[in-house]
Structure 1
Amino acid sequence: MSALVLGLSLVACTGLACTGSARAQSAASEGQKLAFDRGKGNCLTCHVIKGGDLPGSIGPKLEGLASKYDRAELMAIVTDETKRNPQTVMPPFGRNRILTEQEINAVVDFLQTL
């Protein structure tokens, strides 16, 4: 996402109201920050994500997720993938309170843009 688009999103969301498109862009931007943050989402430890530095190769490359999973599935995966796949090495970000529900929503907003 370009700096101009991010800047416009932030300007559009600074008042009491925020347009749907600007809100989605802002949430996706926040989700990207969380996903790339080595102390928070830390998704790059295991996944290749476009725009990320020093990605890992343990998990699948994260691309085209919106066509593979609906929002509820992505929320479930990020919240606690062990429910779907007990053998996963993916941390249960919600169950272990690594990320808040709001942060998980933002990460999913970002994942849906990939």
Structure 2
Amino acid sequence: MIAALALTIGVLASAGPALAQSAASDGQKLAFDRGKGNCLTCHVIKGGDLPGTIGPELKNIKSKYPDRNDLVAIVTDETKRNPQTVMPPFGRNRMLTEQEINAVVDFLQTL
């Protein structure tokens, strides 16, 4: 029993970076999807095609937003922080689920 528990913990621990990488990959797909996240409509993102320039270029995100929760809040509903923003409230309007927002944030933190 203890050996099985130790093995399970070991497997889960080693899967951590792989799961994070998978979430970031899923987040990139959402961010680049013109029908879902649609981040490229307003933002330049490395690797994205035909970006817009309404919003800031998305780069050095982890250094700009070291607290991940700030970035989640921005994607969820930036109007709470900045009522004049043109950033769509992806969470409040249910354009993205909480899981999808977290995946997008995982991706943005790799930029």
Corresponding position of 2:94: 97
Q: What fraction of aligned residue pairs are identical, expressed as a percent? A: 83
Corresponding position of 2:80: 83
Gaps of 5+ in 2: 1-10
TM-score, structure 1 as length reference? 0.84
Shift of 1:27: 0.2
* 1:22-101 superposed matches below 5 A: 22-69=18-65, 70-101=67-98
Tell me the SS of whatever aligns to 1:19.
helix
Gaps of 5+ in 1: 1-15
Q: CA RMSD in A?
A: 1.2
Q: Higher helix fraction: Structure 1 or Structure 2?
A: 2
How many residue pairs get aligned? The number is: 99
Q: Which amino acid aligns with 2:102?
A: N
Shift of 1:62: 0.1
Larger radius of gyration: 2
Runs of 4+ in 1 over 3 A off after TM superposition: none
